[in-house]
Structure 1
Amino acid sequence: MASGLRYGEISGVSVGDAFPDYDAMNAAGVHRASQGGISGGKDGSDSIVVNGGYADDRDAGDEIIYTGQGGRDPNSRTRHVADQKLVLGNAGLKRAYEQRQPVRVIRGSNGAKQYSPPSGYRYDGLYGVTEVWPETRAQDGFRIWRFRLVKLGTATAAAPTSDPDETEDDNVSWTGGRRTSLVKVRRGQRKFRAGLLEKYGLTCAVTGPAPKEVLQAAHLRAFAEHESHKRSEGLLLRSDIHNLFDAGLLAIDTSSNTIVVAPNLRGHATYGPLAGRKLAIPTHLMPDPAALDDHHEAAKSRWLPKI
Structure 2
Amino acid sequence: MSQPVFGHVGSYRPGDTFRNRIDLSLSGVHRPRRTGVCGTRQLGAESIVLAGQYEEDNFEEEEILYSGNGGRDPKTGRQIMDQVATTGILALLRSIETGLPVRVLRKVPAEDDELEVYRYEGLYRVVGSTYGPGKSGFLVYVFRLRHFI
Check whether the contact 1:102–1:127 (CA below 8 A) recurs between aligned residues: yes
- Report whether the alignment pairs 1:41 with 2:37: no
Q: Distance in 1 between matches of 2:16 and 2:135?
A: 37
**Matched position secondary structure for 2:104:** strand
Q: Distance in 1 between matches of 2:58 and 2:100?
A: 21
Q: Distance in 1 between matches of 2:128 and 2:116?
A: 30
User: What's the Cα RMSD here?
Assistant: 1.9
Q: Distance in 2 between matches of 1:126 and 1:28?
A: 16
Deviations 1:183-208 (A, max 9, x none): xxxxxxxxxxxxxxxxxxxxxxxxxx
Give 1:102 deviation, angstroms: 0.5
Check whether the contact 1:97–1:130 (CA below 8 A) recurs between aligned residues: yes
Task: Give matches, 1:95-174, under 5 Å.
Answer: 95-109=94-108, 119-137=116-134, 139-140=136-137, 142-153=138-149
Q: Distance in 1 between matches of 2:93 and 2:82?
A: 17
- Residue 82 of structure 2 corresponds to which residue in structure 1? 83
Q: Distance in 2 between matches of 1:29 and 1:138?
A: 33
Deviations 1:12-63 (A, max 9, x none): 2121111001111111110011111111232221000111010111122221
**Matched position secondary structure for 2:90:** helix
Check whether the contact 2:134–2:140 (CA below 8 A) recurs between aligned residues: yes
Which is greater in Rg?
A: 1
**Matched position secondary structure for 1:5:** coil
- Residue 69 of structure 2 corresponds to which residue in structure 1? 69
Q: Distance in 2 between matches of 1:76 and 1:23?
A: 24
Deviating 4+ runs (over 6 angstroms): none
The alpha-carbon distance between structure 1 residues 139 and 13, as it changes in their structure 2 partners (threshold 3 A), is closer
Q: Distance in 2 between matches of 1:4 and 1:83?
A: 32
The percent of aligned pairs where both chains have the same amino acid is 35
- Residue 52 of structure 2 corresponds to which residue in structure 1? 52
Structure with a larger share of its residues in helix: 1
User: Would you say how many aligned residue pairs link Structure 1 and Structure 2?
Assistant: 143
Task: Give matches, 1:1-307, under 5 Å.
Answer: 4-43=3-42, 44-77=44-77, 79-109=78-108, 119-137=116-134, 139-140=136-137, 142-153=138-149
Looking at both structures, which has the greater relative contact order when contacts are Cα pairs under 8 Å and sequence separation is at least 6?
2
Q: Distance in 2 between matches of 1:105 and 1:95?
A: 16
- Residue 112 of structure 2 corresponds to which residue in structure 1? none
Q: Distance in 1 between matches of 2:81 and 2:61?
A: 29
Q: Distance in 2 between matches of 1:120 and 1:37?
A: 15
What letter corresponds to residue 72 of structure 2 in structure 1? R
TM-score (norm 1): 0.44
- Which consecutive residues of structure 2, in runs of 5 or more, have no partner in the other structure? 110-114
Q: Distance in 1 between matches of 2:24 and 2:118?
A: 8
- Which consecutive residues of structure 1, in runs of 5 or more, have no partner in the other structure? 111-117, 154-307
What letter corresponds to residue 140 of structure 2 in structure 1? I
Deviates more, 1:68-77 or 1:20-29: 68-77
Give 1:107 deviation, angstroms: 0.8
The alpha-carbon distance between structure 1 residues 138 and 9, as it changes in their structure 2 partners (threshold 3 A), is closer
Deviations 1:61-100 (A, max 9, x none): 22111000001112234x2222111221000011111110
